[in-house]
């Protein structure tokens, strides 16, 4: 059995903390399904308020999960760390108790 070193485990914990919110998980999924989107397009797909969505987008961008590019007056977001989707798929298959 191989035990990961502390630095790798801290990186994993950082990534999990960054995406550990239902809206952030939805943002990751929406960007995977639809590709690069603006804040208003993400809000439309998730049925969320722009201020809340913008907050989560900027947090994930700051922490390196997303990237953004300005196109005129719009900011377009994309998934920078596509491996995060593997985490979601793995956890989706988890049969742990939720209560």
Express each pLDDT in 20-67 by its tens digit: 999 999 999 999 999 999 999 999 999 999 999 999 999 999 999 999
How far is 56 from 69, CA to CA, in rounded Å?
16
18-43 as b/e, with b when 16 or more CB fall inside 10 Å?
A: bbeeeebbbbbebbeeeeebebeebb
Cα–Cα separations (whole angstroms), residue 42 to 20, 65, 91, 99:
18, 16, 23, 31
Domain 6-90 part of CATH 1.10.10.10: yes
Q: Is the pLDDT of residue 95 over 90?
A: no
Q: Where are the domains of the chain?
A: 6-90
| Global confidence as pTM | 0.85
Q: What is the model's pLDDT at position 43?
A: 97
């Amino acid at each position: 059995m191989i035990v990961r070193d502390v630095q790798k485990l801290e990186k994993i914990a950082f990534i999990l903390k960054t995406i550990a919110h239902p809206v952030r998980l939805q943002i990751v999924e929406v960007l995977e399904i639809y590709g690069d989107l603006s804040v208003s397009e993400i809000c439309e797909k998730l049925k969320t308020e722009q201020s809340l969505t913008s907050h989560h987008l900027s947090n994930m961008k700051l922490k390196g999960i997303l990237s953004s590019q300005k196109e005129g007056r719009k900011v377009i977001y994309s998934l920078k760390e596509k491996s995060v989707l593997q985490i979601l798929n793995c956890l989706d298959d988890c049969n742990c108790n939720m209560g």
